[in-house]
Amino acid sequence: MIRLKNLTVNIDGSRILDDVNLIVEPGQIVAVMGPNGSGKSTLAKAIMGDPSLEIHGDILLDGKSLNGMPTNERANQGIFLSFQNPPEIEGVKSEYFLATSFNKEWDEITEVSKKLGITPELLSKDLNVGFSGGERKKMEMLQAILKNPRLVILDEIDSGLDIDAVKLVSKFMKTMRTQNQGVLIITHQTSLFDNIRPDKVYILSKGKIVEEGGPDLLSKLNDFGFEGWN
Amino acid sequence: MDFEFLKERERRYWFKSKERSEFQVKGPLTKDKVLKISKFKGDPDWVAKSRIKGFDFFKKLKMPKFGPDLSGVDFEDLIYYSKPSDKARKWEDVPEDIKTTFEKLGISGVEMKMLSGVGLQYDSEVIFEKAKKGLDKLGVIYMSMDEAVKKHPELVRKYMGKIVPPTDNKFAALNNAVWSGGTFIYVPKNVKVPFPLHTYFRINLEGFGQFERTLIIVEEGAEVTYVEGCTAPLYNKSTIHSAVVELVALPNSKLKYITLQNWSNNVYNLVTKRAFAYSGAFVQWIDGNFGSKVTMKYPAICLLEPNARGEVVSIALVSDGQNIDSGARMIHRAPHTHSNMISKTVSLGTGIATFRGTVRIYSGAKFSKANTECDSLLIGDSVANAIPKIEVMEDTASLNHEARMGNVDKEKLLYLMSRGIDEKTAMSMLVFGFVRDFVNELPLEYALELQRLIEFDMGGHS
């Protein structure tokens, strides 16, 4: 489904990602694990085509290169990025944003919101403005579910979420898997995988993939932490 | 960014109208020509005299020593007065592509017809007649200034030229000499006008003339909202628009004056606006600037008696080749007076947006409070300036000033685009969000039009 081939990314001349190779097949849940500052969020934004990044190498979706494609078109090709730090969008009401930009029926929006514990009051506020960390993540989940993308990239989705919401994230990933869609989950902790085993794990350190393997890598991580790869 | 749409806007919306004129006065301006205008209009004596006084000061006063370059204003070559032909053009005669684009912009039928210079004798008359019946019952006077100097000389004389005297500045003096058209509103004691009064309620087209003169008097405890202009582009055949607006808010009254300025990009828009707010009165200037080549406009509120309040909320949307120099002036002359100034400017391309905010708190204006906030959003290589001037001569006064300036937040743009929204739409969402404070002050139909205007300016049109 998505393939990163020799992906190298610079920001203002300094190298953030170095020759990264990564594959997510349909129906797979793939984890990218790494400590803070290892380049995880940059990886997510590179796939989304952030114009502020200097990108070398290839990002292929179903074998076709996404190089040079604007972010919104990548989104329309079925890639969804759940942001680690969703920004505040002043003057744009959440419910208005969901109804117009997502083109969804109001019933569906309220139903999913309810499951996620998003109150109508929150929906009536400007998008992410004054939201707590957890509320922002729930709003990202709500949008991911409504978009029903082919590939979802979840960047530190679990930080700030309560147990019920984390369960919902797991459930969402399972659904994605059964629908033969892809999940690329970026995180620095293993707790999210208590309920669901990833198919593949990549360890990212200082911009490089230092190890790749099956879910067993998680127990190694739990035992030794990221220190083992330094 | 691609600014092709600006040329498109110019070509399509600022179309020239072929107006025939029965009577015209061209520059260079002389005393005789001023008297000729006065005679043609059938002014009362006191108006004629006041015009001469205006002319004398126009000759005497110098051009402003600050702000944008005004060397393009050629006083010798201006048309100072022109009576529009009574023959209205027919809606059917308006070119098809202009009609279509009006529709695309979502301009209401009434405004559409007004803009193309037709229809006022039809639709507007009906609306006006309806509104007028209600206003008559309340004792509210709402007419053109030309009519008011003849029908209500005692009321007009008491205030006209007292808030903005002809000595104020060169352009106010010029207006005093050659003014024509504009609005007069008088709201009697304790009357609350239940709907906003719109310019287009008035029948005569001269309301959009180049030297209009407006006076609004709100008696004790009375309330009114006035909306001037519209969000749709307006072509002015002359290159100068120099209006004078005077507001009088008597004790405990409320007066809200909304301006939506969208002159075509050949116009020098040089306007003097000032309000007197008496004890406990609340005056608001809600000021939107979208068009013109050069604008100089600083709505002022003089807080003359205790507990008077003033607020100016302004936005400027400045694109290629435009220089909008706007702001506000708050003059605190009495104890416990409050002022609030909020400015948002958005500049695109080679546009220059300058905000000048003056707060002056005189000695004795005890416990007065002033707040000023100025935000600038820059898109492309545009320029924005914020020039605050704060003079406090009273120890017990308190003051807050904030200024922010920045580009469109790239992270926000990426975020919106990552939801599948194209760049131009995402940009106009962010800009619209940025000017939200202003939008909230507008009647709903104007808020919707403004949204379309922003989308249009961002290129959402294509």
Residues B38 and B117 reside in one and the same domain = yes
Contact B420 A126 (CB under 8 A): no
Is B426 an interface residue toward A (CB < 8 Å)?
yes
Q: Count of domains in chain B?
A: 2
Q: Is the pTM of this model over 0.90?
A: no
Is A102 an interface residue toward B (CB < 8 Å)?
yes
The per-residue DSSP string of B245-288 comes to EEEEE-TT-EEEEEEEE-B-TT-EEEEEEEEEE-TT-EEEEEEE
- What gap in Å lies between CA A53 and CA A9, rounded to an integer? 7
- What gap in Å lies between CA A217 and CA A213, rounded to an integer? 6
What phi, psi does B354 have (nearest 5°)? -125, 135
Other Cβ atoms within 10 Å of B206 Cβ, number: 19
- State which of B384, B409, B434 marks the end of a domain: B409
H helices present in B83-140, as ranges: 96-105, 109-115, 125-138
Cα nearest neighbour of B429 on chain A: A92
Contact B415 A87 (CB under 8 A): yes
Q: What is the pLDDT of residues B303-314, one digit of tens each?
A: 999 999 999 999
Partners of B420 on chain A (C-beta within 8 Å) are: 72, 75-76, 101, 147
Residues B455 and B374 reside in one and the same domain = no
Token pair listed for B133? 């019946």
Is B353 an interface residue toward A (CB < 8 Å)?
no
Query: For residue B2, is it within any domain?
Result: no
Instruction: Please report where in the chains the tokens 């406090």 appear, as a residue.
Output: B392
Other Cβ atoms within 10 Å of B30 Cβ, number: 12
Contact B419 A87 (CB under 8 A): no
Is B415 an interface residue toward A (CB < 8 Å)?
yes
- State which of B394, B409, B424 marks the end of a domain: B409
Q: What is the pLDDT of residues B380-401, one digit of tens each?
A: 778 889 999 999 999 999 999 9
Query: What do you get for the CA distance between the two ends of chain A, in Å?
Result: 31
Residues B418 and B289 reside in one and the same domain = no
What phi, psi does B24 have (nearest 5°)? -140, 140
Contact B414 A91 (CB under 8 A): no
Is A131 an interface residue toward B (CB < 8 Å)?
no
Task: From first to last of the 462 residues of chain B, give the pLDDT tens digit.
Answer: 344 444 554 544 444 444 445 678 888 999 999 999 999 999 999 999 999 999 999 999 999 999 999 988 888 888 888 775 544 445 555 555 445 545 554 555 555 555 444 433 334 445 556 667 788 899 999 888 999 999 999 999 999 999 999 999 999 999 999 998 888 999 999 999 988 887 754 433 443 458 889 999 999 999 999 988 765 556 555 678 899 999 999 999 999 999 988 887 788 999 999 999 999 999 999 999 988 899 999 999 999 999 999 999 999 999 888 999 999 999 999 999 999 999 999 998 888 999 999 999 999 999 999 999 999 999 877 888 999 999 999 999 999 999 888 888 999 999 999 999 999 889 988 998 888 888 888 877 677 777 777 776 665 333
Contact B421 A101 (CB under 8 A): yes
Task: For chain B, state the CA radius of gyration.
Answer: 22
Kind plus residue range of the DSSP H or E element containing B438: helix B436-439
Tell me what the mean pLDDT of segment A7-15 comes to.
Answer: 93
Determine contact, residues B88/B121, Cβ cutoff 8 Å. Answer: yes
Partners of B417 on chain A (C-beta within 8 Å) are: 70-72, 75
Partners of B430 on chain A (C-beta within 8 Å) are: 89
Query: For residue B14, is it within any domain?
Result: no
Q: Mapping DSSP to helix (H, G, I), strand (E, B) and coil, where does residue B244 land?
A: strand
Token pair listed for B316? 């400027």
- State which of B409, B426, B445 marks the end of a domain: B409
Partners of A83 on chain B (C-beta within 8 Å) are: 415, 418
Residues B424 and B390 reside in one and the same domain = no
Is A179 an interface residue toward B (CB < 8 Å)?
no
Query: For residue B4, is it within any domain?
Result: no
Residue-range definition of the domain harbouring residue B196: 20-409
Count of positions (residues) in chain B: 462
Minimum-distance CB partner of A90 among B414, B419, B433: B433
Q: Are strands A2-11 and A14-24 parallel, antiparallel or unpaired?
A: antiparallel
Instruction: Please report, as a single letter, which amino acid is at residue B41.
Output: K
The per-residue DSSP string of B288-324 comes to EE---SEEEE--EEEE-STT-EEEEEEEEEE-TT-EE
CA dihedral B89, B93, B94, B95 (to 10 degrees): -150
Contact B436 A91 (CB under 8 A): yes
Determine contact, residues B368/B399, Cβ cutoff 8 Å. Answer: no
Query: For residue B185, is it within any domain?
Result: yes
Q: What is the pLDDT of residues B201-232, one digit of tens each?
A: 443 344 345 888 999 999 999 999 998 876 55
Residues 40-79 of A with CB under 8 A from B: 45, 48, 50-52, 70-72, 74-76
Nearest to B163 by CA among B289, B293, B37, B272: B272
Determine contact, residues A161/A138, Cβ cutoff 8 Å. Answer: yes
Is A103 an interface residue toward B (CB < 8 Å)?
no
Cα nearest neighbour of B424 on chain A: A72
Distance from CA of A89 to the nearest CA of B (A): 7
Partners of B433 on chain A (C-beta within 8 Å) are: 89-92, 126
Instruction: Please report, as a single letter, which amino acid is at residue A105.
Output: E
- What gap in Å lies between CA B128 and CA B358, rounded to an integer? 38
Residues B129 and B191 reside in one and the same domain = yes
Residues B443 and B382 reside in one and the same domain = no
Residues B287 and B269 reside in one and the same domain = yes
Is B447 an interface residue toward A (CB < 8 Å)?
no
In this structure, what DSSP letter does residue B16 have? P
Query: For residue B152, is it within any domain?
Result: yes
Q: What is the pLDDT of residues A58-70, one digit of tens each?
A: 999 999 999 999 9
Query: For residue B3, is it within any domain?
Result: no
Partners of B415 on chain A (C-beta within 8 Å) are: 83, 86-87, 89
Residues B396 and B414 reside in one and the same domain = no
What phi, psi does A54 have (nearest 5°)? -95, 110
Residues B181 and B272 reside in one and the same domain = yes
Half-sphere exposure of A71 (CA within 13 A, CB side): 26
Residues B322 and B371 reside in one and the same domain = yes
Residues B122 and B216 reside in one and the same domain = yes
Determine contact, residues A185/A154, Cβ cutoff 8 Å. Answer: yes
Q: Taking phi first (over 0 means left), then psi (-120 to 50 degrees means alpha), and beta for anything else, what does residue B307 get?
A: left
Residues B376 and B437 reside in one and the same domain = no
Minimum-distance CB partner of B418 among A48, A102, A126: A48
Query: For residue B208, is it within any domain?
Result: yes
Query: For residue B372, is it within any domain?
Result: yes
